[in-house]
């Protein structure tokens, strides 16, 4: 079976964009691939984190993976720092990377922009991400298009090592999401929905209460035309809402436009509230159950054990090909 690896950072506010863009895809891939889904806590500390909050967010994201339908009987769910191979391979790959290529990463440029100095971890973060992927001989990496440059770097590093040493790594492929899966901010449809935006009504978090969902959708930016049609250029706010409606209801954009012919934004938004609340209610219910159970810890411990077993084999091969250690 071919192998899939992906990771989500343990920060709060996992939102509808994360769900439609990434988590939901994770669930589908389980049928066809051996999947490893990681909570990448070592990535999270590239920016300051409160230790108590970080632990809480690790368990929140793990419980959300399971609540949306990641099945621990089929997939390996684990916490990155529970597998030492990530840091170990991260260092080895750092020695095969160039500062030039790392300075070209747009995410680093964006995050360090206007800062007098940036943590070195923010600079080498894409190398750690490459280590995450190569550690498991991964074939396919499902991620948003925002990660494309990091996946390309990972492939370059794998090919570079394979060409200068014995063949050591499987060269992975990115699997990018469809354009429609990019969910925009509700208050400003020119930006993507994000975990860190200040306005809580810019996003719908997966654990939002129905009253909050209603408020955010009813407040969402639209336009004054009053006609329900899909036009990303002229009507980006409404088009984003139609996209969300379509993704949560399995109706096509054309179906939706036809359904609301002659109706106003109020009717459309009211229905979207209902669809969203209905889609998220079972997730929240399962989340509450799983989050407070011992089972969650057992699943993560079991996942770490299985991940370690694969990682140790890769690390033995890597050390051998680099001549590190005694054997």
Spot the catalytic one: 52, 73, 74, 111: 111
Residue 193 binding: pick among ligand AMP, ligand TRP, none (C-beta 5-8 Å cut-off by kind): ligand AMP
Half-sphere exposure of residue 238: CA atoms within 13 angstroms, side-chain side: 22
> For the stretch 148-176, what's the b/e string if a residue is b when 16 or more beta carbons lie within 10 angstroms of its beta carbon?
ebbbebbbbbbeebeeeeeebbbebebeb
Could you tell me how far CA 38 lies from the centroid of its own chain?
Answer: 10
Per CB under 6 A, the list member of 182, 201, 232, 251 interacting with ligand AMP is: 182
Spot the catalytic one: 2, 56, 195, 319: 195
Per CB under 6 A, the list member of 161, 183, 241, 296 interacting with ligand AMP is: 183
Contact call for residue 192 and ligand AMP (CB under 6 A): yes
Residues in the interface with ligand TRP (CB under 6 A) total 12
Residues in the interface with ligand AMP (CB under 6 A) total 16
> Which two three-digit tokens encode residue 59?
């368990």
Residue 143 vs residues 283, 284, 285: alpha-carbon distances, Å: 21, 23, 26
- Using CB atoms within 10 Å of the CB of residue 96, give its burial: 0 to 12 exposed, 13 to 18 middle, 19+ buried: middle
Contact call for residue 12 and ligand AMP (CB under 6 A): no
Window of 1-9, 67-75, 236-244, 250-258 that interacts with ligand TRP by CB under 6 A: 1-9
User: How many CB atoms neighbour CB 307 within 10 A?
Assistant: 24
Nearby residues of 50 by Cβ (< 8 Å), 6 or more positions away: none
* CB-based closest residue to ligand AMP: 144
Say whether 235 is catalytic. no
Cβ 164 to ligand AMP shortest distance, Å: 31
Say whether 192 is catalytic. yes
- Using CB atoms within 10 Å of the CB of residue 211, give its burial: 0 to 12 exposed, 13 to 18 middle, 19+ buried: exposed
Please give the Cα distance from 17 to 185 (Å, whole number). 9
Per CB under 6 A, the list member of 29, 66, 76, 133 interacting with ligand TRP is: 133
Window of 53-61, 97-105, 124-132, 141-149 that interacts with ligand AMP by CB under 6 A: 141-149
Say whether 115 is catalytic. no
Residue 205 binding: pick among ligand TRP, ligand AMP, none (C-beta 5-8 Å cut-off by kind): none
Per CB under 6 A, the list member of 3, 5, 9, 59 interacting with ligand AMP is: 9
Window of 191-199, 234-242, 272-280, 319-327 that interacts with ligand AMP by CB under 6 A: 191-199
Residue 15: beta bridge partners? Answer: 205
Contact call for residue 207 and ligand AMP (CB under 6 A): no
Contact call for residue 180 and ligand AMP (CB under 6 A): no
Contact call for residue 9 and ligand TRP (CB under 6 A): yes
Residue in 167, 267, 183, 260 with CA at minimum distance from that of residue 218: 267
Residue 232 binding: pick among ligand AMP, ligand TRP, none (C-beta 5-8 Å cut-off by kind): none
Is the Cβ–Cβ distance between 105 and 326 less than 8 Å? no
Contact string 144-173 vs ligand AMP (x = CB under 6 A): x-xx--------------------------
Please give the Cα distance from 306 to 288 (Å, whole number). 26
Is the Cβ–Cβ distance between 135 and 18 less than 8 Å? no
Contact call for residue 44 and ligand AMP (CB under 6 A): no
Please give the Cα distance from 244 to 180 (Å, whole number). 9
**Mind telling me the catalytic residues?**
111, 192, 195
Positions that interact with ligand AMP (CB under 6 A): 8-9, 17-18, 21-22, 143-144, 146-147, 181-183, 192-193, 195
């Amino acid at each position: 079976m071919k192998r899939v690896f992906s990771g989500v950072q343990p920060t709060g506010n996992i939102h509808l964009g994360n769900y439609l863009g990434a988590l939901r895809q994770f669930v589908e891939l389980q049928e066809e691939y051996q999947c490893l889904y990681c909570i990448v806590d070592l990535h999270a500390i590239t920016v300051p984190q409160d230790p108590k909050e970080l632990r809480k967010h690790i368990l929140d994201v793990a419980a959300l993976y399971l609540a949306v339908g990641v099945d621990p009987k089929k997939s390996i769910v684990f916490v990155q720092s529970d597998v030492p191979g990530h840091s170990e391979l991260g260092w080895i790959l750092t020695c095969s990377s160039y500062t030039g290529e790392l300075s070209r990463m747009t995410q680093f440029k964006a995050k360090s922009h206007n800062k007098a100095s940036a943590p070195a971890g923010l600079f080498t973060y894409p190398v750690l991400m490459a280590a995450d992927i190569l550690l498991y001989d991964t074939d396919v990496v499902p991620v948003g298009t925002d990660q494309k440059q990091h996946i390309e770097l990972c492939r370059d590093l794998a090919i570079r090592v394979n060409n200068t040493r014995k063949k050591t790594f499987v060269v992975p492929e990115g699997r990018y999401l469809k354009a429609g899966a990019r969910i925009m901010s509700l208050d400003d449809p020119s930006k993507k929905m994000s975990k860190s935006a200040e306005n809580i009504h810019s996003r719908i978090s997966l654990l939002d209460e129905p009253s909050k969902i209603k408020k955010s959708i009813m407040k969402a930016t639209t336009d004054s035309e009053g006609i329900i049609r899909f036009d990303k250029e002229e009507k980006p706010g409404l088009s984003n809402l139609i996209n969300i409606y379509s993704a949560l209801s399995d109706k096509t954009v054309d179906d939706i436009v036809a359904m609301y012919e002659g109706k106003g934004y109020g009717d459309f938004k009211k229905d979207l509230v209902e669809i969203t609340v209905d889609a998220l209610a079972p997730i929240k219910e399962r989340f509450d159950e799983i989050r407070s159970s011992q089972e969650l810890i057992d699943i993560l411990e079991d996942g770490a054990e299985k991940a370690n077993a694969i990682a140790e084999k890769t690390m033995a091969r890597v050390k051998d090909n680099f001549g590190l250690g005694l054997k």
